[in-house]
Amino acid sequence: QVQLQESGPGLVKPSETLSLTCTVSGGSIRSATSFWSWVRQPAGKAPEWIGRIYTTGTTNYNPSFKSRVTISLDASRNQFSLMLTSVTAADTAVYYCAREVRVAVAVGYLDNWGQGTLVTVSA
């Protein structure tokens, strides 16, 4: 069973960059049958998919984040990361990293999730 664990600052100032890392255990980030994804969920709202990365480094992003988001991976550490620039209070949410089962090119469903980490954007 793949396990995922988010880490990073719980408080970020407005206009700064949110950076989170997800450590994967029990499976390889080099897996050809997985995507590695970030999802966020503001309090009391539905989850929102942010984007994913594949072992090749290919990424797909939610257009809602335009050019603010970057997802990268470090295969040597079995980790992947999220950077979200120019944050505002609207980016306050629980951020989850998750594994997607790859069923086709750029198609996957989320079968394993981290426990989530609350990131608050405030001065």
Partner 1 sequence: EIVLTQSPGTLSLSPGERATLSCRASQGLYTSYLAWYQQKPGQAPRLLIYGASSRATGIPDRFSGSGSGTDFTLTISRLEPEDFAMYYCQQYGSLATFGQGTNVEIK
* Residue 77, SS3 per DSSP: helix
> Which residues are registered as beta bridge partners of 25?
3
Please say whether the beta carbons of 98 and 37 come within 8 A. yes
Q: Which CB sits closer to partner 1, 79 or 117?
A: 117
> Residue 71 in contact with residue 53, Cβ under 8 Å?
yes
Shortest reach from residue 121's CB to partner 1, in Å: 21
- Smallest gap from residue 76 Cβ to partner 1 (A): 27
34-41 and 48-53: which strand pairing? Answer: antiparallel
Nearer to partner 1, 91 or 100 (CB): 100
Indicate the SS3 state at residue 3: strand
Rg (CA), the chain: 14
In the complex, the smallest distance separating the C-beta of residue 64 from partner 1, rounded to whole angstroms, is 8
Nearer to partner 1, 78 or 101 (CB): 101
Which positions lie near partner 1, rule CB under 8 A? 45-49, 60, 62-63, 96, 98, 100-101, 103, 106-111, 113-116
Q: How far is the CB of 79 from partner 1 (least distance, A)?
A: 18
Residue with smaller CB distance to partner 1, 8 or 116: 116
Rounded to whole angstroms, how far apart are CA atoms 13 and 122? 5
